[in-house]
Chains A and B, each alone.
Chain A
């Protein structure tokens, strides 16, 4: 077949669909307990305490980032320590 197809032309995704998808992902995360933002301060404290047992780090040198996705979420933790402070 040349040129024509019975399928509707591909259009830019409608914004309402985007809104639906965003809400579904967000609400799935918010409804599940334990993944709320309030567990993160505790998580941060625990991670810091664990690392501090092994190396000297500054409490301020921790950077936590999160990206909640549809299939999976990622939690990124960056810890800086001074170059003069080799890990033991």
Chain B
């Protein structure tokens, strides 16, 4: 092997879709954090924006000023993949493939997506696909060739319902679902915007409530955190920003994604009071 940094290089490169159905639950934030986390651990990682027409991953990754060519240009043969990939300035293992701001999702074709993904598989260990919201063409193409799925869910009724819908699509409308010999997509739930205080007061569903309904393994719980807005303001993936509970939770989720056993932590963003700190945790 060429690299000794990698802990356990995946035998084959993996395509991971970050999806949710519902919008605004944290797909792009999660795609940015997870891809940066994978790259931090030495894996060659690329993150692709599938939200054609409403490009935003470039802003969250902080490379919006450097976009020249995009995913659609590559699919349509106007640019080579190498030209469209933007190398992250913080992590040399990380690349971003932005999407088009001017086209619509009809510019994506199954054949085109497959060709680009196959080319990326030759160079990268992990290919993270940031799905658009909804369950239309863009979202379906983002998940179609996936090996694994991260379903981003908020502990809230409409988000859980949409996640259930998406889990149904993952197990029926994807390449792995259509191939009887293939293992089904490995789908895991990532709970975001989790608020311990509101759960304690009974206002919000608990992790167990959500998992019982969705019946999928849990990849991680990301607490509601001020760090998320700050990171997107500055165009920094959360795991590369100042340490916070959210960045620690994403780092744990990345560990689980690559197969490590990490205990689930459930901390809220609130700092312990002086009293709590003086007398230790007596939970």
Contact = CB atoms under 8 A, between A and B. Distances in A.
Given A15-B233, A18-B233, A67 B65 contact: yes
Interface in A27-74: 30, 36-38, 40-41, 44, 60, 62-69, 73
B65 to A, nearest CB: 4
A40 B102 contact: no
Interface string B179-193: 000000000000000
Indicate the size class of the contact surface on chain A. Answer: 20 to 34
Contact of A37 (B102, B232, B233): B102
Contacts of A16: 233
Contacts of B229: 15
Q: Which of A26, A41, A67 has the most CB of B within 10 A?
A: A41
Contacts of B78: 41, 44
Q: Which of A15, A25, A36 has the most CB of B within 10 A?
A: A15
A37 B101 CA distance: 8
B101 A36 contact: yes
A37 B70 CA distance: 8
Nearest to A30: B101
B83 interface: yes
A80 B232 CA distance: 37
B80 interface: yes
Contacts of A67: 65-66
Interface string B155-197: 0000000000000000000000000000000000000000000
Contact of A15 (B59, B65, B102, B230): B230
A6 interface: no
Interface string B222-246: 0000000110111100000000000
CB-based closest 7 A-B pairs: A41-B78, A19-B233, A15-B233, A68-B65, A15-B230, A66-B68, A18-B234
